[in-house]
Amino acid sequence: MRGLIFDPFSGISGDMTIAALLDLGLPLEWLRTFVRELRLGPIEVDAERAGRQGIACTRLLLKLPHEHSHRHLADIVAIIEGTKVEASVRERAVHAFTLLAEAEAEVHGTTRERVHFHEVGALDAIVDVLASVAGARELGFTEFYTRPVALGRGWSEMAHGNFPVPPPAVLKLLQGVAVRDPDFEGECTTPTGAALIQAFTAGREAPATFTPLATGFGAGARDPRDRPNCLRLIAIEASTGGERLQLLQSDVDDLSTEYVPALIDAVIGAGALDCAVTPLLMKKGRPAFRVEALVAPERYTAVAAAFFHASPTIGLRSWPVEREALPRREEVVEWRGERLRIKRSRLPGGGERAKPEFDDVVHAANRLGIPPFAAFRAMVADGVAAEGQYSHHTFSEDQE
């Protein structure tokens, strides 16, 4: 699988991310065309070579029209949804700004709908997020990881006044992500950069072994003497070895069955990759449930807390496991006027398994007034889905 490691040893911002993608090989003309087709006004896009304490980098140059307006989350979502970019790009970009709104709301004691964006609501931030997400997709990256994020020290002047570095919203955004606190003066990681790290990686650490394919360095605007102010992105081929995960397990004998779905939702919502429940018969003939969750190490604390909050359990068992997963991708197709997400997984030896997202099948069926199984059969007949969820289509290297 083609993966991308964020290495923010000197911090991260939106423009540094795009610049590092350009340094990795994203064509500048592609970026210019992408920004022009966003139809956000007369935005000029350019790049230049820059040095940061001996490291050769690419620096992004954006010239944007002057703005007076400040936006709310709904305004930014409307702008993103109004573009013609792919659905998966829009979804990740909206997710990044939603994370920003939730962090700002918690800092200022309000709701995400009422948050008044200042710097991160400007056109350059919207372009930074959309172009970063679309650029990573254009280069074919499907898996994303991060190394510890540098925070910085001192004070930074913002729309609300002087704030300590790192700004409160940045720390909120980086919850669950490994960080480091070097003696770097000034703001290293911006709210937009922190939101991109969270939206791309959710704090997922890089695999223990991997094959590096290329590196890209994106320069920050400043050139301080205490560090090379740049972001490194590392393109990798992930090891074929199993992914390192944790298995959490609890036996619950005092929870009514009607509350089990809510427990599963809470565990998944806290970041578990999967959750399964099995009926048990415990000592003294007591009926019970065994709840098991598969968790990435960085989400262990949050998922364990969900177990304790959403169930009456008083203890958990856990142990490390390895998961072998097929290379996979998602595509969006139109079927009878409905949008369907299709998951495709590459099979050993060639060919693939294709499966439509069940929620999309149900939604399409409800809109068409037919049972879900009938909708699926119609998808098979129309060639959108494959009976038995298999397809003879073969992956090529550029599709990976």
What percent of the chain clears pLDDT 90, i.e. is strictly above it? 55
Q: What is the mean pLDDT of residues 41-49?
A: 94
What does the pLDDT read at residue 183?
85
Helix axes 358-368, 372-381, angle to 10 degrees: 100
Going edge to edge, which strands form the sheet with 328-335? Answer: 328-335, 338-346, 352-356, 390-391
Mean pLDDT of the chain: 87
Please tell me the distance from the alpha carbon of residue 369 to that of residue 130, in angstroms, as a whole number: 36
What does the pLDDT read at residue 399?
40
In the structure, what pLDDT confidence band is assigned to residue 387 with cuts at 50, 70 and 90?
Answer: low
User: Which residues of the chain form beta strands (DSSP E)?
Assistant: 2-7, 44-52, 55-63, 143-146, 149-150, 152-153, 155-158, 161-164, 179-180, 186-187, 210-219, 230-238, 243-252, 274-281, 287-295, 317-323, 328-335, 338-346, 352-356, 390-391
Domains of the chain: 2-238 (no CATH), 244-323 (3.30.70.1380), 328-391 (no CATH)
Q: What is the mean pLDDT of residues 59-77?
A: 84
| 122 DSSP 8-state letter | S
What does the pLDDT read at residue 118?
60
Please tell me the distance from the alpha carbon of residue 181 to that of residue 165, in angstroms, as a whole number: 11
Could you tell me which residues come within 8 angstroms of residue 295 by beta carbon, excluding any fewer than 6 positions away?
245, 246, 247, 248, 271, 272, 273, 303
Residue 195 has pLDDT above 80, yes or no: yes
**Segment among 36-40, 212-216, 389-393 with least mean pLDDT:** 389-393
Q: What is the mean pLDDT of residues 202-206?
A: 86
Residue 130 has pLDDT above 50, yes or no: yes
Residue 207 has pLDDT above 50, yes or no: yes
Query: Does the predicted model carry a pTM greater than 0.85?
Result: no
What does the pLDDT read at residue 188?
93
How many other CB atoms are there within 10 angstroms of residue 351's CB atom?
15
Please tell me the distance from the alpha carbon of residue 345 to that of residue 327, in angstroms, as a whole number: 6
Q: What's the pLDDT tens digit per position in 156-178? A: 776 556 778 888 889 999 998 99
Choose between 159 and 8: higher pLDDT.
8
| 242 DSSP 8-state letter | P
**Segment among 30-44, 219-233, 287-301, 381-395 with least mean pLDDT:** 381-395
